[in-house]
Chain A
Amino acid sequence: MPDDGLPLDRADRWRAWMVAAQDGDADRYQQLLTELLPFVRGLVRSRLGDDPTIEDVVQDVLLSIHTARHTYRAERPLLPWVRTIARNAAIDRLRRRGRSLARLSDVEADDLPAQPQEPPIPMLSPAVERALERLPEAQRQAVVLLKLEGLSVAEAARKVGVTPGALKLRAHRGYRALRELLGGERR
């Protein structure tokens, strides 16, 4: 059966690669995510337009695909599964934008190099500080190292003693928790 109008061989290939990824085949998984990337970008762009944070949402989608990969079943088409994840990530982004979490967005979008001579916490508003304090230690550490101290993923991972992927996942969970906490404070 064609998978969302894709050529049959590509739809079948992606499905087979996803099944291989569920078995732990890292090469196939990397190939799958790489081939899915333009599709995911297109989906996100169709929802968000020219939003400057599109690539962040694309990364959210990839992380969601990673954490939800056990929910894919081989007998089902892959693309509706990916599309739902992408759509929800985009809706999340639109909701966050609607809530005008400007301060947090500043922290997230901050790609400026770190200024290590300045202590990081005073840069934050009291609300963000409080939210940071409520995060689990591992997540707080990842957020602080990446976003406040400006370390690269590899540097931060080395400092904490975990793999870069694990650090990125911790940071991602931390951002989500921060958004929820800050959203809750504003309601």
Chain B
Amino acid sequence: MSQQLRTEELIQELAENLEPVRPIPPLRQVLVAILALWAAVACLGLLVLGTRPDLLDLVLAWRGAGAVFAGLGLAGLGGLIAALALAVPGREATVRAGLALGLVGMALAAGAGTLMLLRSPVVGEHAPLSGDLRCLGVACGVAFLPALAVVSLGGRAAPLRPLFLAWAAAAGTAALGAVVAQASCPFSDPQHIMWAHILAPGVGAVLLTLPLLWVLRRVVRR
């Protein structure tokens, strides 16, 4: 009984110390802002790195690299949606939808990549290791600022599962970064596309999750 009295005392104290708060903006609005930031970073990256001469043909070629573009874009969008929804209690359905979208995107990209691998000649020109590292670096580099923005905004909400949020932000933004890597990559080697573009979200998740978690915890503590 004394515990119950203490709980009611707590309610009274919380009410007495109540201060007005401004509700967080709708998820859709935050998502658009993050995508705008990614677009700005992507444009800057493409200006610096340059685009492939056959970019338009690639994008329009649905069966090959075009499907990789679409898949990575969907994976990135899904990851971002899941990460942002993880910062708001009661948005589990949105988290699930984001993860499902991300998985569909990854499946599409991986399927297209596998088809490209199967159709490629056994003996062909392979991209060097430095090329692989370049594209992974581009993907993670482009991901960094948008990922920071996601965890900063997420930390100001109420992230109940911080590690999951940091992981979704890292994988999602790395997938979007891989779109830029794909658009600026000088190589057409299917193996390179598979390892350095399609698997970039996994690499981004491994490299960025812990730093993002650290940032998220700092923002939450403030």
A19 to chain B minimum Cβ distance, whole angstroms, is 8
Q: Does B157 contact A (CB under 8 A)?
A: yes
Q: Which of A43-68 contact B (CB under 8 A)?
A: 55, 58-59, 62-64, 66-68
B222 CB to nearest A CB, Å: 12
Measured between alpha carbons, how far is A153 from B5 in the docked complex, in Å? 13
B23–A33 CB distance below 8 A: no
For the complex, is B10 an interface residue (Cβ under 8 Å from A)?
yes
CB-based contact A23/B89 at 8 Å: no
Interface bracket on A: 35 or more
User: Could you tell me if A22 and B11 are in contact, using CB atoms closer than 8 angstroms?
Assistant: no
Task: Give 1 or 0 for each of B107-131: 1 = CB within 8 Å of chain A CB.
Answer: 0000000000000000000000000
Contact A64 B158 (CB under 8 A): yes
User: Is A164 part of the binding interface, using a Cβ–Cβ cutoff of 8 Å?
Assistant: yes
Q: Tell me whether chain B's interface is mostly helix, strand or loop, or mixed.
A: loop
Give A77 Cβ to nearest chain B Cβ, in Å.
8
Chain A interface: which of B13-21, B54-62, B68-76, B195-203? B13-21
Inter-chain contacts of B10 with A (CB < 8 A):
59, 62-63, 168
Q: Is A125 engaged at the interface, CB distance under 8 Å to the other chain?
A: no
Residues of B within 8 A of A23 (CB): 20
Given the contacts A59-B10, A72-B23, A84 and B18 also touching, CB distance less than 8 Å: no
B206 touches A (CB below 8 Å): no
B87 surroundings in chain A (CB, below 8 A)? 71
- Number of residues of chain B lying within 8 A (CB) of chain A: 33
CB of B53 within 8 A of chain A?
Answer: no
A contacts, CB < 8 Å to B: 21-27, 29-30, 33-34, 37, 55, 58-59, 62-64, 66-74, 76-77, 80-85, 88, 111, 153, 163-166, 168-169
A55 touching B4, Cβ below 8 Å: yes
A165 touches B16 (CB 8 A): yes
Q: Report whether A166 and B17 are in contact in the complex, using a CB–CB cutoff of 8 Å.
A: yes
- Asked, given contacts A70-B22, A73-B26, whether A30 binds B89 with beta carbons under 8 Å apart, the answer is no
- In angstroms, Cα B91 to Cα A76, docked, is 10
Give 9 A-B pairs besides A21-B18, A30-B15, A163-B16 with Cβ atoms closer than 8 angstroms. A33-B14, A63-B14, A68-B89, A71-B23, A71-B24, A74-B23, A76-B90, A81-B89, A153-B9
Whether the Cβ atoms of B7 and A22 lie closer than 8 Å is no
Q: How far in angstroms is the closest Cβ of chain A from B40?
A: 27
Q: Are A58 and B7 closer than 8 Å at their CB atoms? A: yes
